[in-house]
Amino acid sequence: MELSGAQILLECLKREGVEVVFGFPGGAVIDIYNELPNASFKHVLVRHEQAAIHAADGYARASGKVGCCLVTSGPGATNTVTGIATAYMDSIPVVILTGQVPTPLIGNDAFQEVDIVGITRPCTKHNYLVKDVKNLAHVIRQAFFIARSGRPGPVLVDLPKDVMQTKTEFVWPEDVHMRSYNPNYKPHAGQIRKVAQLIRDAERPLIYAGGGVISSHAHEALTWLAQNLHIPVTATLMGLGCFPGNDKLWLGMLGMHGTYAANMAINNADFVLAVGARFDDRVTGKVSTFAPKATLVHVDIDPTSIQKNVSVHVPLVADCRLALEALKEELEPSLAVYDFEEGHRPWLGKVAAWAKEHPLTYKPSAETIKPQHVVEVLHELTHGDAIIATEVGQNQMWAAQFYKFNKPNAFLSSGGLGTMGYGFPAAIGAQFACPDRMVIDVAGDGSIQMNIQELATSVANKLGIKIVILNNGFLGMVRQWQELFYKRNYCETCMDAQPDFVKLAEAYGAKGFRISKTAELRRVLQEALDTPGTVIVDVLVEREENVYPMVPAGASLTDMLLV
Amino acid sequence: MRHTLSVTVENEPGVLSRVAGLFSGRGFNIESLNVGPTLDPGASVMTVTTEGDEQIIEQIVKQLRKLITVIKVVDLTEMKSVLREMILLKVNACDANRAEILRTVDIFRCKVVDVSIDEITIEATGNHEKIEAIIGLLNRFGIKEISRSGMVAMKRSMQG
């Protein structure tokens, strides 16, 4: 049977298992929208295209599946670029479908025409312009395959209007074969034996885990290795949740706002297993003094991550889960021979002493609400089970530090790109992925305003998302840098003109709460969490609170500013 | 150090800008670039000469391999290979210089492909050093125009 391009597209999305598409219609995609009533998936109408891509990204992070969004040509497409770059930096599988002007008009500066394939070339894993409807099914199949395989990432497919209208025979490609794309998953057996021996020989071992552990579902294997071999674990922002936050081997996050124990451990370890992490500058600080005493092993599926920022001793290009499972298999028999617990006892004692010496902390106050305390109370009230999305800045760091994640796929944050305005739309995506979970966006008063219009989307879809604004009336992280490194020159960081967030929530049909006293924090937060539907909680916090520890940019990890 | 990379790519629109964009976006340097068809109509070969230390070259090779449309990357600098560039030079040739220019053409086994009253156009082929030497020698007569093909290269059959 002959189908139109639009019909073929919907059929392909169905076969790819797409459950929800976040989108916004327009002239170039009107043929696709015309077919939507027959679609197998739900379409969620956002209020700005940036939110469509962030929601698809949040859906992908929370579910582990490929997220999908659909926007029109020109401005619709360009509005997704920030979100595409966000997903690209954090290796999140998303397929972006953009409308395009009809093929005969391409290149003529037609109305709402933009070369989105050209614009997104450096921030997508791959992208396509479909010029012939006969290639459509094939391209969609490849797009999903590329997005989810290897090191995941965003793939954009540009769909000219006439291609969506043209009819052709629909043929579903049963499998995908690409001679130029074959990611390597299996770890090299010789390298595994080498790493296993290094682990046996190590006296002061440490696991440094990143987002790759979460995207490859390696958390169980990682937890097994750490707990059975008695190796302490630290993680990057992207890796939070890959290891139980309540385990005694957990050191907390490392890097610029990492814990004292984690940064001291990486500085003193004689063996570091870096897995699914990429030695980002926010993690390493000054590269030449990073893990100076350690034999470094780096497990990553992307060969370009290895030897890029830091020179490692043993590279291992493989899927993190397969590599850690191979290590488990190799090391399990050693448990009968080696007493890892006894061997690592002095090291674990040292690590515990660091954690005791400078734990994550803040100075409590009777007068003002401490933002860290808000996150602690949230953790308590949700029993650590909520999905936490964050915006970017201080709110993000406090959420990362003080919410103890026990499970993967529960912390949604723009790690690599640091995109303000990410959290709320990502929370919307996560709520569609996990309708029965509590989803909270920990926000700042600056970031939340970057995609505040999505209140309409959340209310329209009756989503129970709770937005907790840590409101300090500042762009807090920039203000912190100005305070510490720019002689308190608070240039353009004071947000003195603010909306009334409670009234704003009400205007959108959501519910609003305001908390200004520590004494009422727990009660009102609980009430907000118990309130059905979309809720904003405007928490007026200490205005000039800083995130500590802090390693100044470019300094060594041991040069921490502490509370 | 200068490296010559042979990059086999899918012959499809946009592949050149993917490769070029990779170099510019990551701050790598392209010294010369040559693109042409291969025996397989679905594939093209790009010969890229670039410069960098070992770590940078390793990154360039890996980043190129990561591009979805790149089929194969070979660093020809690491093996025995034949490297050739073709160059067209338009040189000032007054009566006093003409003989000397033609002698140079002879020594380097170049070809004269066009002549006029006061100019000679020369075609030369060779590796990087030879081409640089020809330019160096003809410079004193005044080179009016130059057009270079960029390096093309091939692995030698006997690697031993």
Q: What is the pLDDT of residues A151-183, one digit of tens each?
A: 999 999 999 999 999 999 999 999 999 999 999
Q: Which residues of A sit within 8 Å Cβ distance of B?
A: 117-118, 121-122, 125-126, 129, 146, 178-181, 302-304, 307-308, 311
A329 carries an active-site annotation: no
Residue A539 · residue A521 · CB < 8 Å = yes
A180 with B10: Cβ contact below 8 A? yes
SS3 B29: coil
A302 with B66: Cβ contact below 8 A? yes
B10 with A126: Cβ contact below 8 A? no
A477 carries an active-site annotation: yes
Per-residue pLDDT averaged across A449-453, rounded?
98
Residue A390 · residue A54 · CB < 8 Å = no
- Chains A, B: CB contacts within 8 A come to 38
Q: CA B109: distance to chain centroid?
A: 18
A549 upstream amide cis, omega within 30 of 0: yes
Kindly tell me if the per-residue pLDDT of A530 is higher than 80: yes
A227 carries an active-site annotation: no
Q: Which pLDDT does position A465 carry in this prediction?
A: 98
Q: In Å, what is the CA distance from A202 to each residue of A190, A297, A405, B128? A: 18, 12, 28, 50
Q: Which residues of B sit within 8 Å Cβ distance of A?
A: 9-10, 13-14, 17-18, 21-22, 25, 55, 58-59, 62-63, 65-66, 68-71
Kindly tell me if the per-residue pLDDT of A539 is higher than 80: yes
Q: Which pLDDT does position A366 carry in this prediction?
A: 85
Q: Which pLDDT does position B55 carry in this prediction?
A: 92
Listing DSSP states for A121-145 in one string gives GGGSSEEEE--SGGGHHHHHHHHHH
Read off the tokens for A203.
Answer: 């006296």
Contacts of A303 in chain B (CB under 8 A): 62, 65-66
Structure confidence by residue, pLDDT tens digits, A320-338:
999 999 999 999 999 999 9
> Could you tell me which chain A residue has the CA closest to the CA of B71?
A180
- Report the residue of A129, A157, A178, A304 to disrupt the B interface, i.e. the one with the largest count of B CBs within 10 Å: A304
Residue pointed to by tokens 């793939």 = A155
pLDDT band at B125 (very low <50, low <70, confident <90, very high): very high
d(CA A12, CA A133): 13
pLDDT band at B78 (very low <50, low <70, confident <90, very high): confident
β pairing state of A439-444 and A387-390: parallel
- Report the residue of B68, B69, B73 to disrupt the A interface, i.e. the one with the largest count of A CBs within 10 Å: B68
Q: Which pLDDT does position A177 carry in this prediction?
A: 92
pTM score > 0.90 for this model? yes
Contacts of B55 in chain A (CB under 8 A): 307, 311
pLDDT band at B21 (very low <50, low <70, confident <90, very high): very high
Kindly tell me if the per-residue pLDDT of A317 is higher than 80: yes
Read off the tokens for A129.
Answer: 């312009």
Q: Work out whether the CA dihedral A260, A265, A267, A273 comes out positive or negative.
A: negative
A311 with B55: Cβ contact below 8 A? yes
Q: How far is B31 from chain A (nearest CA, A)?
A: 21
d(CA A394, CA A479): 10
Q: Which pLDDT does position A406 carry in this prediction?
A: 95
Q: Which pLDDT does position B98 carry in this prediction?
A: 93
Q: Length of chain A, please? A: 563
A506 carries an active-site annotation: no
- Cα angle, residue A169 at apex, residues A165 and A174 outer, rounded to 5°: 115
Give buried/exposed letters for A284-320 (b at 16+ CB in 10 A, else e). Answer: bbbeeebbeebbbbbbbbbbbbbbbebebeebbbbbb
Per-residue pLDDT averaged across A532-540, rounded?
98
Q: Which pLDDT does position B104 carry in this prediction?
A: 93
A394 carries an active-site annotation: no
Q: How far is A295 from chain B (nearest CA, A)?
A: 19
Q: How far is B69 from chain A (nearest CA, A)?
A: 6
Kindly tell me if the per-residue pLDDT of B149 is higher than 90: yes
pLDDT band at B137 (very low <50, low <70, confident <90, very high): very high
Q: How far is A14 from chain B (nearest CA, A)?
A: 25
pLDDT band at B159 (very low <50, low <70, confident <90, very high): confident
Per-residue pLDDT averaged across A544-559, rounded?
96
Of the listed A477, A480, A482, A511, which one is catalytic?
A477
Under DSSP, the state recorded for A383 is T
Per-residue pLDDT averaged across A367-380, rounded?
97
Half-sphere exposure of A234 (CA within 13 A, CB side): 30
Kindly tell me if the per-residue pLDDT of A1 is higher than 90: no
Count CB neighbours of A563 within 10 A: 14
Burial (CB count <10 Å: 0-12, 13-18, 19+), residue A110: middle
Q: Which pLDDT does position A511 carry in this prediction?
A: 98
Q: Which pLDDT does position B100 carry in this prediction?
A: 93
Kindly tell me if the per-residue pLDDT of B160 is higher than 80: no
Contacts of B69 in chain A (CB under 8 A): 126, 180
pLDDT band at A563 (very low <50, low <70, confident <90, very high): confident
Q: Which pLDDT does position A542 carry in this prediction?
A: 97
Q: Which pLDDT does position A358 carry in this prediction?
A: 97
Kindly tell me if the per-residue pLDDT of A242 is higher than 80: yes
Listing DSSP states for A13-67 in one string gives HHHTT--EEEE---GGGHHHHHHGGG-SSEEEE-SSHHHHHHHHHHHHHHHSS-E
Listing DSSP states for A277-319 in one string gives ----HHHHSSGGGSSTTPEEEEEES-GGGTTTSS--SEEEES-
The DSSP H or E segment spanning A83 is: helix A81-89
B59 with A304: Cβ contact below 8 A? yes
Structure ipTM: 0.92
Task: Give backbone dihedrals phi and psi of A258, rounded to 5 degrees, phi first.
Answer: -75, 170
Q: How far is B36 from chain A (nearest CA, A)?
A: 18
Half-sphere exposure of A82 (CA within 13 A, CB side): 19
